Amino acid sequence: MQGIRVGNAASKGQGLFACRDIPTRATLYTTNELTIAAINTTELSNFCYSCYAGSQPSTEQWYNFGQYRDAELKVCSGCQVARFCGERCQKQAWKKNHKHECKIFKKLRPKVLPEQVRAILTFLLQHDNGLLADGVWSDITNVMSHMDDLRAAGGDTWMSLMLMAKATHEYSQTKVDLNTLLKLFCILKVNGMQLSTTYGDPIGAFLDTTLLKINHSCDGNVMVYRPTYTNGTGWIHRRSDDKATIRLLPLRPIAKGEELTTSYIEFTKHVSDRQKNLQNDYFFTCTCGKCTKDADVAKKLSSTDPTLAKQQATWREEVNTHLELLKNPPYTISSSITALTSVVRVMESSLSFNPADDPYPRAVHELKLLHMDNHKSVDQALICGLKEHLLIGPAIYSSPYYSTRVTNAVYLLQVFALLDDSFNPLPRQDPRLVAQAKSIERKGLSKKSFKYWRLRICIHTRAYIDMAALTDLVEVLRREQVSIGLDRAAFHELVDSEAIKTQGEKEMRSLLDISEERWEMLVRPELKRVEDERDRV
């Protein structure tokens, strides 16, 4: 552990603490050996079983156009379940764990075990076959399991934990008792972290003996990040041995002795939903500063404007329903677009509009993704992405170094690229994109302002990256800047010209339909802050 230690976090149990002052550019901890991990069953054919390289990650699929480098996955001829990006990964996995589980997977074919069972089964077989390093078994089995809470809550969750424990006991023929196995499933349920792509798309779950000591805060000071390695020409999802699978990065400077915290849940949700989530899934009540502040604001709103408070609860309900529907096909994209657009519109038209208010951030983000579907309305996706970048980002993230904020900006730049005539990575045969670019112009953003904003967002995002530890994204931004195709002189003319800047801002207000007053209040402070920051880089 680099500059961090496990310590007593009072009523929260153990926690992680900084042993020195930590600047934002530091990497706090890295690992490329996750203690327990499994890829979701639905993603098994898309990601390497050993290094989690992706063959078709959902978000990035379109990202690098022709340059995207797929990892070609070959299926294990024994079990036909695990897929590997190369011989090296296959050999490593065979030695580490696959030798023992492969036989079990083969016997069960065509049934594929759920990810939780594969995760615990693999760990158990490593233990039973003497393949775990000293202390790892006790490090994991001594973690808070909340088994009594889960048993008391009962229901389908408890039933499924018991069934999974029984099945694992039977398949493994282990000497470890059933109760310990059940505890392991509870530990994974309560402490498991999401294994994801760099863009945050979930692909599995993992447990790491150090990271699982991090306690929760809705305004955490660290983030768990899965880097995407790049070279000059495209993404390389494959990780070489010297590179980490997971990194722990600071979101702001952290003082010596401060506790490291991260958000276990979607922190943009309303405080009442966050508390429900934390109580149901993690069995505690959050008392962080953000919860105290948000609860005060909610209480005040209920007493001063009960109609609005009620209205907001209805919007949250509506967005939650659609986001839930979108998780499981068959779903209708167009009806979700209609419902989410209507919530976004009414929220924006409210006099007390605050872009941080749940469900606005979640609705705009989902709408952006839905509009990108099949490139059907990239122009609308651009508008959503811009709202997310200019209005929502500054309002919900207490720090610019959130990987989500940076990767959202990188995504937005790619949406710009799709609509930019002068940037031509794709054969421009799609007349829909040409028509959509025209629609952006008709809505008020001229070609010059379009280019100005594309460049401006690129430069500002690059500045965030230079100040943070998200170094793997530098190459992506460098390439992006080149692709905008401006020489140094033209670059300064665009970004530093007051006239172009004033015009660009005016046109952006028109595109996003934001009044000047709202722009000055909600967008201006952040624009000023990033400009100051850029000057410091």
Q: In the bound complex, what is the minimum distance in angstroms from residue 448's beta carbon to ligand SAM?
A: 49
Q: In the bound complex, what is the minimum distance in angstroms from residue 221's beta carbon to ligand SAM?
A: 13
* 374 phi-psi bin (left φ>0, alpha ψ -120 to 50, beta other): left
Peptide bond into 329 cis (omega under 30): no
DSSP-derived secondary structure for 94-135: IIIIIHHHHHHHHHHTT----HHHHHHHHHHHHHHTT-SPTT
Work out whether 14 is an interface residue with ligand SAM (CB under 6 A): yes
Query: Toward ligand SAM, which CB reaches closer, 12 or 88?
Result: 12
The footprint of ligand SAM on residues 286-325 (CB under 6 A) is: 286
How many Cβ atoms are within 10 Å of 246's Cβ, its own excluded?
A: 23
Tokens of 307: 């109609």
* Binds ligand SAM by CB under 6 A, chosen from 143, 433, 468, 523: 143
- Main-chain phi, psi angles of 242, to 5 degrees: -85, 0
* Binds ligand SAM by CB under 6 A, chosen from 112, 131, 144, 326: 144
Q: How many residues bind to ligand SAM according to rule CB under 6 A?
A: 19
* Residue found by looking up tokens 């994209």 in the block: 333
Distances (CA, A) of 20 to 146, 234, 256: 32, 37, 4
Query: Toward ligand SAM, which CB reaches closer, 258 or 324?
Result: 258
Query: Toward ligand SAM, which CB reaches closer, 217 or 377?
Result: 217
Residue 224's nearest CA partner among 487, 525, 470 is 470
Query: Toward ligand SAM, which CB reaches closer, 144 or 298?
Result: 144
Query: Toward ligand SAM, which CB reaches closer, 207 or 392?
Result: 207
List, in sequence order, every residue forming a beta bridge with 229; answer none if it has no partner: 236
d(CA 38, CA 117): 9
* Binds ligand SAM by CB under 6 A, chosen from 168, 191, 209, 230: 191
Residue with smallest beta-carbon separation from ligand SAM:
13
* Binds ligand SAM by CB under 6 A, chosen from 4, 15, 132, 171: 15
Query: Toward ligand SAM, which CB reaches closer, 15 or 385?
Result: 15
Query: Toward ligand SAM, which CB reaches closer, 219 or 480?
Result: 219
Q: In the bound complex, what is the minimum distance in angstroms from residue 187's beta carbon to ligand SAM?
A: 9
Q: Which stretch binds ligand SAM (CB under 6 A): 10-18, 97-105, 119-127, 446-454?
A: 10-18
How many Cα atoms within 13 Å fall on the side-chain side of residue 183? 13
Q: Which stretch binds ligand SAM (CB under 6 A): 45-53, 140-148, 478-486, 529-537?
A: 140-148
* Binds ligand SAM by CB under 6 A, chosen from 118, 189, 216, 454: 216
d(CA 170, CA 329): 33
Spell out, one character per residue from 256 to 285, where the chain touches ligand SAM: x when CB under 6 A holds, - when not: --------------------------xxx-
Q: How far is CA 231 from the centre of its chain?
A: 22
Distances (CA, A) of 473 to 23, 101, 423, 515: 19, 36, 20, 34
Q: In the bound complex, what is the minimum distance in angstroms from residue 211's beta carbon to ligand SAM?
A: 8
Q: In the bound complex, what is the minimum distance in angstroms from residue 215's beta carbon to ligand SAM?
A: 3
Query: Toward ligand SAM, which CB reaches closer, 106 or 290?
Result: 290
Residue 150's nearest CA partner among 280, 278, 285 is 280
How many Cα atoms within 13 Å fall on the side-chain side of residue 436? 22
How many Cβ atoms are within 10 Å of 159's Cβ, its own excluded?
A: 10
* Binds ligand SAM by CB under 6 A, chosen from 213, 247, 274, 460: 213
* Binds ligand SAM by CB under 6 A, chosen from 215, 228, 275, 403: 215
Q: In the bound complex, what is the minimum distance in angstroms from residue 15's beta carbon to ligand SAM?
A: 6
The footprint of ligand SAM on residues 359-378 (CB under 6 A) is: none
Q: Which stretch binds ligand SAM (CB under 6 A): 118-126, 143-151, 314-322, 454-462?
A: 143-151
* Binds ligand SAM by CB under 6 A, chosen from 7, 13, 306, 525: 13
All residues at 6 or more sequence positions from 277 whose CB lies less than 8 Å from its CB, including other chains = 265, 266, 269
Query: Toward ligand SAM, which CB reaches closer, 148 or 170?
Result: 148
Q: Which stretch binds ligand SAM (CB under 6 A): 172-180, 194-202, 211-219, 294-302?
A: 211-219
Q: Which stretch binds ligand SAM (CB under 6 A): 31-39, 99-107, 212-220, 519-527?
A: 212-220
Query: Toward ligand SAM, which CB reaches closer, 217 or 481?
Result: 217
d(CA 305, CA 351): 12
All residues at 6 or more sequence positions from 400 whose CB lies less than 8 Å from its CB, including other chains = 393, 406, 464, 467, 468, 530, 533
Contact 410, 464 (CB under 8 A): no
Tokens of 438: 């025209």
d(CA 30, CA 226): 10
Q: In the bound complex, what is the minimum distance in angstroms from residue 41's beta carbon to ligand SAM?
A: 24
Query: Toward ligand SAM, which CB reaches closer, 285 or 304?
Result: 285
Q: In the bound complex, what is the minimum distance in angstroms from residue 193's beta carbon to ligand SAM?
A: 8
Tokens of 420: 């930019």
Q: Contact residues for ligand SAM (CB under 6 A)? A: 9, 12-15, 143-144, 146, 190-191, 212-213, 215-217, 282-284, 286
